Amino acid sequence: MFFDKLILLLIVTLCLVMNGGGEAACQKVTVVREILNNGFHRDLLTKVELSAISEHTAGCRVIFKEHLPRGLYVDPYQLTSLQQHNVTQVLLLDPIDVEAPEYLSLEHTLLVYAKPDPECGGCFSATVPIHIRYHRPSAQHEEVLVNLLSPQLLIHCNKDLLLEMCQGYPEDAPCSVRDTSTCRWTDVMFKPVPELVLQVPVGLKQHVLLVCTVTFLATFFSSVLVLAAVWKHGQFYI
């Protein structure tokens, strides 16, 4: 029994080595990710370069399928405004509550339709405004980390060049934001990119009494000032 398990383990290991450790990433596709700006409102910039078929990408379209964790969200109303001005094209696949804190939220998925980069042949890019949710106060740490995983890369070309050069899997997805009929895309494996990590400041539980007291006093005195101004300058009719 022991030797049977040992032989099976050797066979599996040999298969992984021959396949490059599992799923083979396409060396002809490069993805770059970057978080822009600071604070609770950021921009997520994603670029892809199809270096091997740059001369054949005139009819290609690219989707970044993003899976946002509970600590992040996109604002549907903001996206609608940006899409009306042709700034970005995003299709939401899940409902989003923009008011909910992190611990009452769910992960959600969105399709980001990239645009050709005029400064780079065979390149596509997209920028999406993302927002950080408020987290629970912590007893020890003044910040928490939110990890943003790599997206899926869906590509649709007039010629199936990627299927010939790269390992990919067919997947149906809406043709565009305005055309929700499905098209056949190729889910392309690309070279791994580092996870994006966002540092989120959180309150300390031992400060709850102080924060509540200051908030109450500020609200009380502001209300008194407003009432005094109304009483002094307002006009009252009986």
CB 80 within 8 A of CB 68: no
3-state secondary structure of 231: helix
pLDDT at 170 over 80: yes
The pLDDT assigned to 159 comes to: 64
Closest CA relative to residue 88, chosen from 120, 49, 146, 129: 129
The pLDDT assigned to 107 comes to: 94
pTM of the complete model: 0.76
Residue 177, number of CB atoms within 10 A of its CB: 16
The pLDDT assigned to 192 comes to: 82
Residues 193-199 have a mean pLDDT of 90
Percentage of residues in the chain having pLDDT higher than 90: 43
Spatial separation of the C-alpha atoms in residues 108 and 68, rounded to whole Å: 5
* Cβ neighbours for 180, distance < 8 A, ≥ 6 positions apart: 91, 174
Least confident of 14-18, 64-68, 92-96, 188-192: 14-18
pLDDT at 149 over 60: yes
